Each structure stands twice: as C-alpha cells, then as structure tokens.
Amino acid sequence: MAVETSQAGGLSMVRATEQDLDRILRIEQASFSVPWTRKMFEVELGQNPFGHLYVAWPSDDEGGTSGFIGYVCFWVVFEEFRLMTLAVEPSARRSGFGRALLRHAMALGRAQGVTRALLEVRASNAAALRLYEQAGFRRTAVRTRYYAHPTEDAVLMELDLSSGR
C-alpha cells in the first residue's frame, strides 16, 4: 500500500483531497504561465491509477493553520517515477521546501519500487533546473519548442534511483 504521509526535513506531506484544490489552483496560477486546470488535478486525484498528488506544510505549523505551502504531483509507472508538477507558494520560496517536497516525493516513489526518475522543465526555469541538478538529475535531451506561452524548449532530466541515493 502507498505511504499516505511523510514527515522529515521540516516538512509534512499528506495526500491531497478535493478540499485542497482551491488552494492548489491559487498556487498553480501564481506559479505557471500555463497552469493546470481543476479538471487536470481532479483526474490525478480520482481517475489516474498512476497519479499521486500531495500537499505539504512546514512541520512547525501545528495543525496546518496557515495552510499548505506547496504540492507535488508525480506518477509511478512501474519502475519509473515521473515528476508531473511541483510548486511552492511564492512567499514561502527559498526556504528549502521545494527541495524537501522533491525528496519526499521520490522517497514515496522508491517505497513503491521505482528505479529511475524523469521530468521535463522549461529551459528558462533557472530555479527548477538548479533544484533538480542539486538533487542529482542530469540533462538527457532537449525537446525543441515543446512549451507554449511562451514558446520554449523543454529540458528532459533523469535520475537513477536504483542505488538508493
């Protein structure tokens, strides 16, 4: 059975529910030029058998009174962990939460037996590229003009998780 909660590194993570979608959408819209729609998140919550959507808040925010500060969506497709989206509330950035969210998500994937992690990111997204490179991801390919609004290349990245890194 999938692990439902995870706590370490100053962050608590719990599986998202329908009640979280308003706040997820607010963070999403503040974070991306082409935000996911409510329908897309609903599919990850209820219909996609590979989908995992978690929200997170600082561990010192007892009871989550200030609301969660970020979320992560990933797919576990057999041995592959695919990072689908990850965002931290703008006012909570640069405090280590993005790194902790990514680490927790991959730990949940590992608990389900994944051996490699894959993602794609806008070529101009310096913060995310740096975050992923620090986590050990390496660039494997570029998809030219993959994104719209603005048109932009995607950088494909991969991390070997088989060694228990």
Ligand X SMILES: CC(C)(COP(=O)(O)OP(=O)(O)OC[C@H]1O[C@@H](n2cnc3c(N)ncnc32)[C@H](O)[C@@H]1OP(=O)(O)O)[C@@H](O)C(=O)NCCC(=O)NCCS
Radius of gyration, CA atoms only, the chain: 15
Interaction pattern, residues 63-102, with ligand X; x per rule: CB under 6 A:
-----------------------xxx----xxxxxxx---
The answer to whether residue 131 forms part of the interface with ligand X (CB under 6 A) is: yes
Q: Nearer Cβ to ligand X, position 86 or 161?
A: 86
Contact yes or no for 100/82 (Cβ under 8 A): no
Tell me whether residue 147 is one of the annotated catalytic residues. no
User: CA–CA separation, 134 vs 153, rounded Å?
Assistant: 21
Catalytic one of 132, 146, 147, 152: 132
In order of 81, 99, 154, the CA distances from 142 in angstroms are 19, 23, 6
CB of 1 to ligand X, least distance (A): 28
Cα(109)–Cα(104) distance, integer angstroms: 9
132 is catalytic: yes
* Contact footprint for ligand X (CB under 6 A): 31, 86-88, 93-99, 121, 125-128, 130-131, 134
List active site positions: 120, 132
